[in-house]
Amino acid sequence: MNALTHIVAALVLAPLIPGIINRVKARMAGRVGRPLLQTYYDLAKLIQKGVVVSHTATWMLAAGPAVSLAAVGCALLLLPGPASPAPVSFTGDFMLAAYCLGLSRLALILAALDTGSSFEGMGASREAAFSALAEPVLFLSFLVLAVGAPEISLSGMLGRGLTGVLAPERLFVPLILFIVLLTENCRIPVDDPTTHLELTMIHEVMVLDHSGPDMAFIVYGAALKLWFFAALTVLAVLPVRSLSPAAGWAAFLAGMLLVTVAIGLVESVMARLRLMRVPRLLGGAGALAALSLVLTVWR
């Protein structure tokens, strides 16, 4: 039961993260901003609407959002909570988690290509290109966390914090995971989730032909994916597993709030990078991850 508590918390609280980010950005700009529960309102509205499907589209357009949401849900089952291991845990499960996230992305890419729109195809190609650069960085981070872990799984690698058996050089890992978070969730400085300009859109352009419940699946799946990477970053930093269950949950939720506020601050003080500079950002993160891995292994 304790293992499922984190899953329930993710399913319930994940849509709150975009609301907090938007509120932080609004406060930084001197505005009141949208309600914190705006994503919940949007999901309720989308569920009640009908679906408009092009006559040229196939079953892939409708299957893409559902498969994407299901894949993110499977990845969450492999993520441990602050006071318990993951509901599904085994040696090497971090590879399955990465592949589940890749399947989620692939489903949306195929759905975008299914429309036959060159506009959505442009966004799909950019999504695929950036994800191909971000995934090696994510795997390198997992390898750094795996060195010295009692078990080569997410439950064994996460929740121990940056003290104890962890080397000081692993301090790079939270920064690396935060950059991966911004990339995988199409946030500034990689992408602007609020833009509607053709030359700058990446993720948003891929879902222009979705509506109704299909769009609700995409919005909810994006919130769950954001929760996954934020929780991954927090669990890599804080030693929540060494605390009592109540203290672990308090520290975890405080860390999640801190990461969420950090996303809002980054989006408030930075502009979106030019497309050609995004690979440099991911390359730098990959170099830091490789350096951290070498120093950790040879320490």
**What is the DSSP annotation of 75-103?**
HHHTS--SSS--SS--TTHHHHHHHHHHH
pLDDT, residue 165, reads 46
pLDDT, residue 295, reads 83
Taking only the tens place, the pLDDT of each residue in 94-130 is 999 999 999 999 999 999 999 888 888 888 888 898 9
Long-range pairs for 238-242: beta carbons < 8 A, 24 or more residues apart: 238/82, 238/159, 238/161, 239/159, 239/160, 239/161, 239/162, 239/163, 239/164, 240/82, 240/83, 240/159, 240/161, 241/80, 241/82, 241/83, 241/159, 241/160, 242/160, 242/161
Residues of the chain falling short of pLDDT 50: 164-166
Question: How far apart (Å, rounded) are the C-alpha atoms in residues 298 and 283?
Answer: 22
pTM of the predicted protein model:
0.94
Closest CA to 5 of 256, 219, 245: 245
